[in-house]
Chain A
């Protein structure tokens, strides 16, 4: 068994029901695995919520976590990924003083170099947005730190798989066949 800990991403597809979050969170808690980031949103399948949870643990532990998550009645499917199997992004927002933007010639250059953009600006402060991998949003953070950064926040990860097949759609398709079968028989 490989006991190396690494960063894993779990994608969970579930119904939109009350209480599921605490159930899933407890699966991590029980194994003393820290959730590094979490995000949830609707996805391309009507009524289905997709969650993306990252954590650092062994593959062995994560495989069990995924099976336990799938065991929740309202969960359709859960998948375990390493970074090479997915396309993923995070969004970070940075708040700086607008006066600095005016006074510091480097600031604009930094924003440009990092492919970030200005989201909101007023007399007092400016909000900068950067989309990218963790390391990229962190790199911008490190640079802005020097300029009296007032706030910094980063979203949970969102992911799309690189696989050819869409396993959740296939699962729902199969389940619908079962449904029709069970209603005829």
Chain B
């Protein structure tokens, strides 16, 4: 229990008015442990993005408890949510979503700027991340000059910049070919294990599932754990 980075406890999410509400998530419970890289798959409209938004403190659940790094976060105000987001969560979005007018290096430093700790340490951190993701030679370049894979790698570097406890990735490989996609997910997985953090990735891409510790499937707002991955999970957790 102590090493659970994220706990969903009977979480439900309804959209809209009570009488004709859409149930996007229906009493979902699961945990993500330290060093674990979890994939979420499921058909379109099943509630994947909703789940990720709640885990990322972009949305509040309608019911249930969400515990992030020992802290109950389901009742926070939007201001507090924004603060926790800045310190504990790193996002990698579907289409990288870099800020067009910041150079690769500034994309990372901006996160430090937001957290009000633009120190030498932040500069070092940015340097280290860029180096690790093989982007050092591209650091003064704007996003429009990067390839899709490079952009996603920058997005991953940016997500690590504030040293978050939890990384959330929404289809990070959607805009990449399979080779590039696999590279990007590999990097994500390596970082998670190396730093003893946790990550959840929503994906449609079956070819990268073997890189994950666990695969959860969501259907009509209900969660099931895919059996063939459970084998893998036990392998790795032992």
Note whether A and B form a binding pair.
no
